[in-house]
Amino acid sequence: MNTRVTLCGIPLDNPVMAASGTFGFGQEFAKLYDLNLLGSFSMKGTTLLPRDGNPPPRIAECPAGMLNAVGLQNPGVHGLIADELPKLAKVFHKPVMANISGFSVDEYVQITELLAPEPQIGWLEINISCPNVHGGGMAFGTDPKAAAHVTRAVRRVTKKPVIIKLSPNVTDIADVAKACEAEGADGLSLINTLLGMRLNLKTRKPVLPFVTGGLSGPSVFPVALRMVWQVYEAVKVPLVGIGGIRTAHDVLEMMLAGATAVQVGSENLINPYACPGIIADLPQAMETYGINNLTDIIGGAH
């Protein structure tokens, strides 16, 4: 069984990647298994300056999922370059995906210019869709013109593959996708979390101090699948499917809808061995459905 795929010109041994925000910079998981089993992973969202993130509590449980309002806690781009990338190079020997979050177009550009020369970074995943931080992140992802502006600006300063991570909190995600493609995006990641909230019945206040958080987990899989399907119909660039993926069968379903690769998110927080387990199960799932080569099924349900 051939599990290899190619994402924006970079080959992957398999299509399974860990999603940004659920895998840190890989060090915690490297203590549990060989990270090189993965196709790749998307590093923790990185901003220009270090961020402490939102005050706790940052997590609220809900049926078939969870809400998070971490608030992009990270060491900043200079900390990533000076500390995290050298440590990662010792345990991961494949191209890694950088996840970039900015509060202005200039910030996206500055971070891209700093990270693009780093040899281990294969793709630049531009997060225009984080719903957890005040300052424009959500606005960029929900307005096709703003999304196009960010894409155009980042595209000008790097030759590495630029993958725009889209927000599901829109009326028509295909419009945003087409705007990004038109300005030079090499690929699209979708979806980021859906906006939600929980209330504490005892205090009669929101569980999260930030009030709202990003909903992820199995409950969002049908929404993510639908959006991948819609965007595949609207653009020609490769897609990375994200949202509620837990099994090898979920991977096949997402690829049939149009994804070239997938990212596993919340399941990493429940089961730290989720990604290698899915990868190990892929050949049997492929055999079950008569699939010899994963690239043959990308968009195969259309």
Q: Which residues are catalytic?
A: 130
Cβ–Cβ under 8 Å, residues 277 and 271: yes
**List of long-range contacts for 105-113, beta carbons under 8 Å, 24+ apart:** 105/149, 105/150, 105/153, 107/47, 107/48, 108/150, 108/153, 108/154, 109/153, 109/154, 109/156, 109/157, 110/48, 110/77, 111/46, 111/47, 111/48, 111/77, 112/154, 112/157, 112/158, 113/157, 113/158
| Backbone torsion region of residue 8, taken as left when φ is above 0, otherwise alpha when ψ lies between -120 and 50, otherwise beta | left
3-state secondary structure of 111: helix
Residues 6 or more apart whose Cβ sits within 8 Å of residue 143:
176
- Looking at residue 137, what DSSP letter applies? H
Neighbours of 45 (CB within 10 A): 24
pTM, two decimal places: 0.96
Alpha carbon dihedral 248, 131, 46, 32, in 10-degree steps, equals: -30
In this prediction, residue 219 carries a pLDDT of 96
In this prediction, residue 136 carries a pLDDT of 46
Quick one: which H or E segment has residue 171?
none
Q: Where are the chain's structural domains?
A: 5-55+70-199+217-297
In this prediction, residue 154 carries a pLDDT of 97
Question: What is the third-level CATH fold of 5-55+70-199+217-297?
Answer: TIM Barrel (3.20.20)
Residues 6 or more apart whose Cβ sits within 8 Å of residue 9:
161
Mean pLDDT per 10-residue segment, the chain (302 residues):
97 98 97 98 97 94 94 96 98 98 92 98 90 52 92 97 96 97 98 96 96 96 98 98 98 98 98 98 98 98 98
In this prediction, residue 130 carries a pLDDT of 56
